[in-house]
């Protein structure tokens, strides 16, 4: 500094402009992760990684990318973030009324975007795989509200049993509520503390679904507390979930397919009396089953399980440094 010259005032960097768009999505296929499925070996960097072939991720698409590829160009932005109200496994579909989410646009150079035209572009691009509601601009604080609201979930599962349970025992389970104790599942024990959690599961319905290669099958519908490990509850995982569905049936059980049908909230209403984005009508299992030759899409689920993936309520792998 030149002697006698006043020091320059410290210039703080300008805050990054951000736009937050709230909606709900339905994931109609298995094998599609919610967020970018970065390779756990190279952390998304590629660099001759043999695990991902240098691609940096293990799936071509995700819910996040199907939305981002249409939203970001319209806002003339390079980056976006996806915030979901929970998450589902790679091999689990999100049907029914959909899952709330917020897509965050970072440093947009354009603001006058036709959100309905943008939504229609996403629907065309994700046809058969992804559906979303209208997108509504919301304040930043909605991100924390969506992510921190404990939300009950409603699931439908296809369950295989080694032998036919007694009919009267199954009938007695319909409508029952069970307080269960779950230890951290073995599949996530390497990154989560091994502790016991208390959860509640309500069995809403169960019915026979014929016989498959593995034996008799049943379809069950349950309502459970936030953070319940449903697949482990069905099998019992060697006593780590008690009482499990296997214990209640009195025979060994295995989850063949699992779908989320409702994310129940309750989520606080938007400001100024606006309603939250919602599909005009939730998907109905009867209509879905009638319209699909393979309503459970088990082949896609097997492929997804073979690839590994993110799990319900678990954080995604860390993205690469930018």
296-319 in b/e form (b: 16+ CB < 10 A) is bbeebbeebeeeebbbbebebbee
Percentages (nearest 5) of helix, strand, coil residues in the chain? 25, 30, 45
Contact 98, 131 (CB under 8 A): yes
| All residues at 6 or more sequence positions from 133 whose CB lies less than 8 Å from its CB, including other chains | 23, 24, 25, 98, 119, 277, 278, 279
Q: How far is it, in rounded angstroms, from Cα 258 to Cα 99?
A: 15
| All residues at 6 or more sequence positions from 267 whose CB lies less than 8 Å from its CB, including other chains | 85, 100, 145, 146, 149, 151, 276
Examine the residue annotation and report whether 259 is marked as an active-site residue of this protein.
Answer: no
| All residues at 6 or more sequence positions from 24 whose CB lies less than 8 Å from its CB, including other chains | 97, 98, 99, 100, 101, 132, 133, 276, 277, 278, 279
Among 61, 89, 91, 297, the one annotated catalytic: 89
The secondary structure of residue 149, as a DSSP letter, is S
Catalytic residues: 89
């Amino acid at each position: 500094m030149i002697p006698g010259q006043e020091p320059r005032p410290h210039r703080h960097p300008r805050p990054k402009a951000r736009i937050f768009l709230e909606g709900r999505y339905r994931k109609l296929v298995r094998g599609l992760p919610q967020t970018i499925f970065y390779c756990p070996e190279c952390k998304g960097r590629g660099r001759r990684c043999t695990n991902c072939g240098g691609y940096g991720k293990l799936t071509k698409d995700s819910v996040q990318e199907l939305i981002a590829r249409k939203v970001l160009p319209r806002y003339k932005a390079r980056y976006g973030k996806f915030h979901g109200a929970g998450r589902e496994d790679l091999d689990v579909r999100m049907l029914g009324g959909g899952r709330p989410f917020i897509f965050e646009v970072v440093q947009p150079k354009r603001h006058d975007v036709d959100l309905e035209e943008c939504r229609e572009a996403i629907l065309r691009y994700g046809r058969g795989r992804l559906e979303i509601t209208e997108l509504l601009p919301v304040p930043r604080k909605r991100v924390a509200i969506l992510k921190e609201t404990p939300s009950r979930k409603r699931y439908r599962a296809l369950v295989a049993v080694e032998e036919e349970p007694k009919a009267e025992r199954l009938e007695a389970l319909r409508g029952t509520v069970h307080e269960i104790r779950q230890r951290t599942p073995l599949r996530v024990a390497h990154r989560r503390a091994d502790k016991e959690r208390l959860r509640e599961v309500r069995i809403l319905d169960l019915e026979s679904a014929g016989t498959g290669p593995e034996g008799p099958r049943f379809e069950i519908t349950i309502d459970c507390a936030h953070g319940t490990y449903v697949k482990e509850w069905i099998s019992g995982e060697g006593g780590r979930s008690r009482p499990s569905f296997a214990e209640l049936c009195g025979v060994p059980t295995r989850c063949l397919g699992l779908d989320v049908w409702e994310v129940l909230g309750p989520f606080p209403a938007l400001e100024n009396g606006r309603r939250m984005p919602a599909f005009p009508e939730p998907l109905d299992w009867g209509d879905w089953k009638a319209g699909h030759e393979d309503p459970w899409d088990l082949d896609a689920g097997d492929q997804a399980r073979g690839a590994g993936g993110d799990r319900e309520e678990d954080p995604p792998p860390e993205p690469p440094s930018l």
